[in-house]
């Protein structure tokens, strides 16, 4: 019963659409009806930038921090309380799933990049550092957020087999692959635009 409560809270926390809330409160815009219609930092920046460039950067940064933290803090708390990695990975999956398919938004949501990074900094720190470096390099060269994110996701998966093959003793990469599938699925429209060279440059 205790685990079920933890799982429910993990999903509900992950489902909080911080980008949407920040944009509505501080910029008076509904990012669900503009841009890519995502609730993530990239769309916050894209939409708010039209009316207030300075505010757009601040809100985008705040969105990243909050989306990152809503995964990091609960996992750190649970880890310090002595819960095993099987539960931690389940919580990570549910937080990312909640962000991408929020009950508060009728199962719509963001792309899951910042939230995944927040979970991985606790669970796979070396791997997320590798992914972050790849994200920076691709972003610097191509200046396309979705391409950088997908490249980072691939780097995360590959490096997980290099740095932590047994995944903290749970001996399965299944939770990580579930998270990767969710992110890939949410990026399908971006992938289509990348193929047809229609994706916007943001970073």
CA distance 183 to 171: 22
Contact present, 101 and 111 (Cβ < 8 Å): no
pLDDT band for 203, please (50, 70, 90 cuts).
Answer: low
In the predicted model, what is the mean pLDDT of residues 8-30? 97
Residue 123 within any structural domain of the chain:
yes
**Which alpha helices (DSSP H) does 33-144 contain, by range?**
41-48, 53-80, 85-100, 113-123, 125-142
CA distance 3 to 88: 11
Higher-confidence residue of 69 and 34: namely: 69
Domain count, the chain: 1
Domain extent at residue 94: 2-195
Residue 201 within any structural domain of the chain:
no
Please, which residues bridge with residue 108 across strands? Answer: 102
Mapped onto helix, strand or coil, the DSSP state of residue 166 is coil
pTM over 0.85: yes
Residue 173 within any structural domain of the chain:
yes
CA distance 52 to 56: 6
Closest CA to 74 of 58, 55, 90, 61: 90
CA 34 to chain centre: 20
For residue 52, how many other CB atoms are within 10 A of its CB? Answer: 15
Q: The tokens of 162 are what?
A: 């290099």
Residue 176 within any structural domain of the chain:
yes
pLDDT band for 135, please (50, 70, 90 cuts).
Answer: very high
Helix (H) and strand (E) counts in the chain:
10, 0
Q: Which residues contact 48 (CB under 8 A, 6 or more apart)?
A: 23, 27, 29, 31, 55, 56, 59, 60
Instruction: Please identify which residue in the block is written with the tokens 């957020």.
Output: 145
Residue 200 within any structural domain of the chain:
no
In the predicted model, what is the mean pLDDT of residues 31-43? 90
pLDDT, one tens digit per residue, over 55-87 is: 999 999 999 999 999 999 999 999 999 999 999
Higher-confidence residue of 92 and 198: namely: 92
Residue 181 within any structural domain of the chain:
yes
Average pLDDT, the chain: 95
CA 140, 141, 146, 147 torsion: positive or negative? negative
Residue 7 within any structural domain of the chain:
yes
pLDDT at 202 over 70: no
Residue 202 within any structural domain of the chain:
no
pLDDT, one tens digit per residue, over 103-132 is: 999 999 999 999 999 999 999 999 999 999
């Amino acid at each position: 019963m205790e685990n079920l409560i933890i799982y429910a809270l993990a999903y509900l926390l992950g489902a909080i659409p911080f980008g949407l809330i920040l944009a509505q409160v501080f910029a008076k815009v509904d990012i669900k009806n503009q841009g890519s219609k995502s609730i993530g930092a990239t769309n916050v920046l894209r939409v708010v930038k039209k009316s207030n460039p300075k505010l757009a950067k601040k809100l985008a940064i705040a969105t990243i921090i909050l989306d990152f933290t809503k995964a990091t803090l609960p996992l750190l708390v649970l880890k310090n309380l002595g819960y095993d990695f099987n539960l931690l990975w389940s919580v990570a999956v549910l937080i990312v799933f909640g962000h991408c398919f929020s009950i508060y938004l009728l199962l719509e949501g963001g792309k899951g990049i910042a939230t995944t990074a927040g979970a991985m900094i606790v669970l796979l720190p070396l791997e997320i550092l590798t992914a972050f470096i790849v994200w920076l390099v691709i972003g610097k060269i191509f200046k396309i957020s979705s391409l950088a994110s997908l490249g980072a996701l691939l780097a995360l998966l590959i490096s997980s087999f290099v740095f932590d093959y047994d995944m903290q003793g749970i001996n399965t990469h299944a939770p990580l692959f579930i998270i990767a599938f969710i992110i890939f699925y949410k990026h399908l429209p971006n992938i289509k635009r990348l193929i047809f060279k229609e994706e916007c440059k943001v970073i």
